[in-house]
Structure 1
Amino acid sequence: MPSPQGTSRCGRSGELSAPRLRDGTPERAGLDPGELGRLVREVRALTTGERPWAAGAVVLAGRGPCVAVAEAAGWAVRYAAYDPESDTGVELPPAARVPMTVETPFDLASVTKLFTAVAAVQQIERGTLGIDAEVGAYLPDFRAAARHRVTVRQLLTHTSGLRPELPLYDYDDDTGRLNRLRAEVPVGVPGTYCYSDLNPLLLQHVLERITGRGLDVLIRDGITRPLGMTATHFGPCPGAAATEDQRRPWAKMERGLLRGVVHDENAFALGGVAGHAGLFSTARDLAVFCRTLLAGGSYGPARILGPDFVELLLTPPGLGFAMDQEWFMGELAGRGAAGHTGFTGTMLVLDRATDTFLILLANTVHPRRRPPNNAPRAAAATRVSRAVQAR
């Protein structure tokens, strides 16, 4: 079982503030070193060969305030382009490649949704946003959502009935994109789950309307700055791991090899700041984010949410967070584990039952996107689960 808040093998007891993360060992974190050793070897193997699962990867896992393992493998930049005739990446000369490090930033893709969700729950805690309020109360000009009485809770739980996405990147100006979003009506049955990027996009507009501030400012001032997450921000991010040689027909835009600019086409069309994608971060920064939620909303002297609102955020079905999803959480699923994946190859999972967290960041879309293979994510989470059980 996890140590009580404020005590740990890696921290001092009796602290008034929540303990900060510290590098430790598997043993000091209460995790089995054999299982974590296998985790690292398996992640390294994912980055080798002619057609690796990812060009490079970073894995970080811990328990309580202890970071038990933090390792990098492979390349942040391995390819110059993608060759569709041979269906292979055009390899850079070894001297021109960029090695992956634990400090390499990644395009988080849909992991961004978690930060949008926390920003929303912060407004719920302050009383400026009602979780069961109708979107039309805040955005009367979004007539379709207002007419169909879409609620904030439905946006946060993907039960609004909105379709998965819209081709906003096909519009030439912000007015056209905004008018398309305003006119979008639910196509599914309200209350039925359907994962949709449009939910956090509408939520972004709600948050910006009620606060008068951009989502990037809300996340910076409400989450990343107080937590000291200096590597987490919306792009551009020049030192990030490369993603895709983005070209039609496999992509939706002609942009060439991407590095340090958002991969998601809609987020790019929206200027790089979007409720569903656009953030860049590192494994260590995401570990701080996980630790904060596991500690009830506090990290060091900073508090970004009260414990009751962390409970609201992480009570099934979860607000923004996916809960107990075996397809990427492996054997961590089933006890109230929460997390999310990102299309570019990112993932985080936190398990309140065992006070553990796992971050796996990889550039699986470098040099081009492939059908998703989530088995490595589930396998990594299972290793962490077994590392707890073994102790």
Structure 2
Amino acid sequence: MRARKVLVATLGALVAAATLTSAGAAAITTDSHDPLAGRFDRPRHGFASPTTTLREGRPSDVGLTDQPIRDAEQFLSDWTKPDATGHPHFSGAVGLLAHDGVVVDRYAVGGALRYADANGTELPPGQQVPMRDDTIFDMASISKLFTSIAALQLVEQGEVDVNAPVARYLPEFAVNGKGAVTVEQLLTHTSGFDADPVPSLWQGYPDIPSRRKAVLDSPLKNAPGTTYLYSDLNMLNLGFLVEKLTGEPLDKVVHDRITAPLGMVDTGYNPPASKLNRIAATEYESSPPRGLVRGQVHDENAWSLGGVAGHAGVFSTASDMAVLSQAILNGGAYRGHRILRPDTVEQMLTNYNQKFPDDSHGLGFELDQPWYMGALSSPVTAGHTGFTGTTLVIDPESRSFALLLTNRVHPTRNWGSINTARQVWATSLAKAMAVKPVEGRDAWYAGLGNSSTATLSTQPLTPRAGGPLQVSFSAFVDTEGPTDPLQLESTTDGVYWQPVALRASGPGAPAGDVTSLSGHGHRAWWRVTAEVPATGVTTLRWRYSTDPNYTGRGVSLDGVKVTERGRTVLDGERNPSALTASGWILTGR
């Protein structure tokens, strides 16, 4: 058994907290009014109490500011309106944000049913159906999380070993050189499977038995464990494994063991016709000739398997997915019902893919993916997306989650990516949380978008004692990474700027001398010092710049001070007007 990678320290205490009391409550308890509520710069440790239940509230109830959330709502609204292309980015959306057990925002906009054909011909207003808080969505690949949970429940029961070959449980799986593929590799998409069944199941096989056999017979593209390649085949086969060991179809397993215990009454496969008026439409399909798809799974392979598959097929609402998200934050329990032990949830949130740095993955969840997690992303932030336009982001460090459910394939999948909207929605929750100043009432903050630069410059500084200038400041840095650096630069002529070596200390700070600061997920203030030779009148500036893709929460500076041999040359805390800002603001949050 290869050594399992240990979760970042924020979840390190989980196993110790897993022991349940006789009442079923975990040793760790939290309070939605605890002093860390609403703080982005004070990451939590361990899970929330298993007794934490969601309640409705306002952002201010848990220390959040609401302007970033209102701005994100406006962004979603704008994206449901036609742009220069003549069509919107998506027909409609339902968003939900929660922090510390409080649902701080629900937002529904646009249409659940809007178009009559693949060309985007709008239905008459009387035939359109608006989005509502309780609209039911085809969750697409978010269904993989339900399959993963069902499989891990079998692990808890001792019926499955994640390190064992899949063929131990499904002997027929071993064909075509797959005898060494493990259950863990299915869960982490490192099995070696190609991206999709070839040919597609609905095109290449006449009936469900032949399609199931085609999945089991699928060959590998890469040697097991050598490559990360996201593939529906992993979860299709895992779903078959669950069915084999439980003796029940996957939809019944998911209902009986996950959704029914959690009270997720609108979640399941093949929703009944009685709920059709609440279901968001997806694509108008001519191949296969299904017409407007509404109430049936959009994914063609899942459809060809009768609507129940390990990789797709689950329908759900924002409210139901909020319950599942809170159950994960609670360590696997909600309203007295436990679906997983805390140590099992920890495995879902542990990165097993350190060999593949950009593809962090737990046993089920994707981890640390800024392309849709935005500024909530960190090494322990978990989530998943769905092709139909669904997004789930769970941030254990702030006890938060962001859900954005859209029907972006209605009426066609060809209207473009919605990843920017995914980032904006998750980032709004991160920016609603406070990063409190280290000193005084405020700090300098730059929360830039892509391809931007912010500068904070000193007035010209005149050395008098011939000694070097000693620079000190505190920095909170939450960026995409090295491509979005914070740098300190100096100039004596106002034209040529030279980088200044920095030395930082604090959780997650870089070691030794560096010329830039970057990184995300540590969520801590760093103390930073630098030394600038006294070669004449010198101007300093802090420059934060971003590349064309992704941004974190941003950068804050506080307690800026420059001295020379003990003499104060500049004190930005006492005299903030000594600093000239472009793209920076003074804020108490």
SS at match of 2:132: coil
**1:19-41 deviation line (CA, Å, top 9, x unaligned):** 21110110113322111111211
Is 2:328 the partner of 1:293? yes
Report runs of 4+ in structure 1 exceeding 6 Å deviation.
Answer: none
Hey, what does 1:156 align to over in structure 2?
Answer: 187
Change beyond 3 A, Cα 1:329–1:24: same
1:90 and 1:172 map into 2 onto residues whose CA distance is 34
Q: Compute the displacement of 1:147 (Å).
A: 4.1
Q: Compute the displacement of 1:121 (Å).
A: 1.0
Hey, what does 2:568 align to over in structure 1?
Answer: none
Q: Compute the displacement of 1:163 (Å).
A: 0.8
Q: Compute the displacement of 1:380 (Å).
A: 1.4
Equivalence map 1:1-391=2 (5 Å):
5-9=29-33, 18-49=51-82, 50-83=86-119, 89-144=120-175, 147-166=178-197, 167-170=200-203, 171-191=205-225, 192-237=227-272, 238=276, 239-248=278-287, 253-316=288-351, 317-370=361-414, 371-389=416-434
Give the counterpart letter for 1:102 in structure 2: D
Gaps of 5+ in 1: 84-88
Q: Compute the displacement of 1:74 (Å).
A: 0.5
Higher-RCO chain (CA-CA 8 Å, sequence separation at least 6): 1
**1:127-180 deviation line (CA, Å, top 9, x unaligned):** 111111101101112232674411000000000000111111121112321221
1:219 and 1:273 map into 2 onto residues whose CA distance is 11
Greater Cα radius of gyration, structure 1 or 2: 2
**1:18-66 deviation line (CA, Å, top 9, x unaligned):** 1211101101133221111112111121212241111010000011210
CA RMSD of aligned residues (A): 1.9
Query: TM-score, length-normalised on structure 1?
Result: 0.93
Q: Is the 8 A contact 2:408 2:418 kept in 1?
A: no
Q: Is the 8 A contact 1:64 1:291 kept in 2?
A: no
Q: Is the 8 A contact 2:112 2:129 kept in 1?
A: yes
1:16 and 1:184 map into 2 onto residues whose CA distance is 43
Moved more, 25-34 or 349-358: 25-34
Give the counterpart letter for 2:413 in structure 1: R
How many percent of aligned residue pairs carry the same amino acid? 45
Q: Is the 8 A contact 1:29 1:62 kept in 2?
A: no
Q: Is the 8 A contact 1:148 1:186 kept in 2?
A: no
2:321 and 2:150 map into 1 onto residues whose CA distance is 16
Give the counterpart letter for 1:41 in structure 2: Q
Change beyond 3 A, Cα 1:107–1:326: same
Gaps of 5+ in 2: 1-9, 11-27, 35-47, 352-360, 436-588
Give the counterpart letter for 1:134 in structure 2: P
Give the counterpart letter for 2:32 in structure 1: S
Higher strand fraction (1 or 2):
2
Counting matched residue pairs gives: 377
**1:285-306 deviation line (CA, Å, top 9, x unaligned):** 1010000000111111111111
Higher helix fraction (1 or 2):
1
1:357 and 1:327 map into 2 onto residues whose CA distance is 16
Query: TM-score, length-normalised on structure 2?
Result: 0.62
Q: Compute the displacement of 1:336 (Å).
A: 1.2
Q: Compute the displacement of 1:279 (Å).
A: 0.5
